[in-house]
Amino acid sequence: MALDLSALTNYVEENAQQLTAAAIFSAKTASLIEAKGNVQVGIKSAETINVLTTDAVFQAGGTCGFNSSGTTAITQRQITVGKIKVQEAICPKTFEAKYTQKALRVGSTYDYMAYATDFTNQKIQRIGAALETAIWQGDTTSGTANLNKFNGFATIINALGFGGAGDPINGNTSALTTLTKSNVRQAVDEIFLSIPAALLDKDDFVIFCGNDTFREYVVALREANLFHYSVEAANMEVVVPATNIKLIGVNGLNGTDYMVGICMSNMYLGTDMLNEQDKFELFYAKEADEMRFVVEFKLGCQVAFTDEVVFWKKASA
């Protein structure tokens, strides 16, 4: 009689002490803005960015007297923060029915969280990934919970339109209706040619695009055989050949076909407390016999000088 194991599933070793977290997008845009020091803290609801502008008018020297000339103005842009919280309850006894029971101590009462480090690390990363998207695509009129808490940069810029005083600059000068590998180099070049000359020497002027667009751009460069330029891309960033401008891919713009040319010093985040989204509680609620995760924070975006932004979107958009 032969041994029959057909009723058994194939053995898969399951390590009860390790849960592998999936690759998660990081909040790249927020970290870049924070590195520039453009985070306003202590905002409970809304606060202004106070923008001072002044000019310099030369006068003939060599004479006595004082003649006032020039103009100085203070304008304001408002940062309105969204109030966000993430809460989840987990019944530890659920772990008893699966291999995860090996992570439980002896006894039937669990006032602790199995895999607490894995859980909290991934939860915070997930929050960061959601914020990366909201920082660009957030729209308070959206029906999507992760997007309707505050307006993101792309939403703010897109709402301004083109042609008016203080409006962003149209980077799609040839009115492209698609953005593909075959024309993405042209689109990026048009953004570069649309940058005000006074901003070209700013070392923090960059072009943001989605990682999906960035991938098309890098492949287009490779296929163009631009061997006399360095086109190696690291960290989803590459210098546009023959320019001083860097193209930066961010997950927050994925799926939008938007590109934004802007000085990073022109981008502001507002919050109540710096990195508050990383400060969480994981505690045992005895009355419910469950573990609870809680984090609450505030975040908002704003651009100080809207007329110093080059915005690319499809002509049909």
Mean pLDDT of the chain: 87
pLDDT at 144: 96
What is the pLDDT averaged over residues 225-252? 85
Nearest in space to 116 (alpha carbons), one of 285, 297, 293: 293
- Whether the per-residue pLDDT at 94 is higher than 70: the answer is yes
- Whether the per-residue pLDDT at 9 is higher than 90: the answer is no
Give the pLDDT confidence of 53-73 residue by residue, as tens digits. Answer: 788 888 888 888 888 888 888
pLDDT at 80: 94
pLDDT at 176: 96
- Looking at the domain assignment, is residue 287 inside a domain? yes
- Looking at the domain assignment, is residue 16 inside a domain? no
CA 148, distance to chain mean position in Å, is 15
pLDDT at 209: 98
Give the pLDDT confidence of 170-204 residue by residue, as tens digits. Answer: 999 999 999 999 999 999 999 999 999 999 999 99
Contact 285, 112 (CB under 8 A): no
What is the percent of the chain with per-residue pLDDT over 90, rounded to a whole number? 52
- Looking at the domain assignment, is residue 2 inside a domain? no
Whole-structure pTM value: 0.86
Nearest in space to 219 (alpha carbons), one of 178, 258, 181: 181
What is the pLDDT averaged over residues 282-306? 92
Residue span of the structural domain in which 180 resides: 28-54+71-312
Higher pLDDT, 90 or 75: 90
Q: What is the rounded distance in angstroms from the CA atom of residue 123 to the CA atom of residue 42?
A: 25
- Whether the per-residue pLDDT at 23 is higher than 60: the answer is no
- Looking at the domain assignment, is residue 217 inside a domain? yes
pLDDT at 142: 96
pLDDT at 205: 97
Count structural domains, the chain: 1
Give the pLDDT confidence of 103-117 residue by residue, as tens digits. Answer: 888 888 888 888 888
- Looking at the domain assignment, is residue 5 inside a domain? no
Confidence grade of residue 20 (pLDDT, cut at 50, 70, 90): very low
Spatial neighbors of 215 by CB under 8 A, at least 6 apart, are: 249
Report the CATH number that the domain containing residue 297 is assigned in CATH: 3.90.1690
- Looking at the domain assignment, is residue 18 inside a domain? no
- Whether the per-residue pLDDT at 243 is higher than 50: the answer is yes
Confidence grade of residue 224 (pLDDT, cut at 50, 70, 90): confident
- Looking at the domain assignment, is residue 4 inside a domain? no
Residue 172's Cβ-count burial label (10 Å; 0-12, 13-18, 19+) is: buried
pLDDT at 52: 78
- Looking at the domain assignment, is residue 317 inside a domain? no
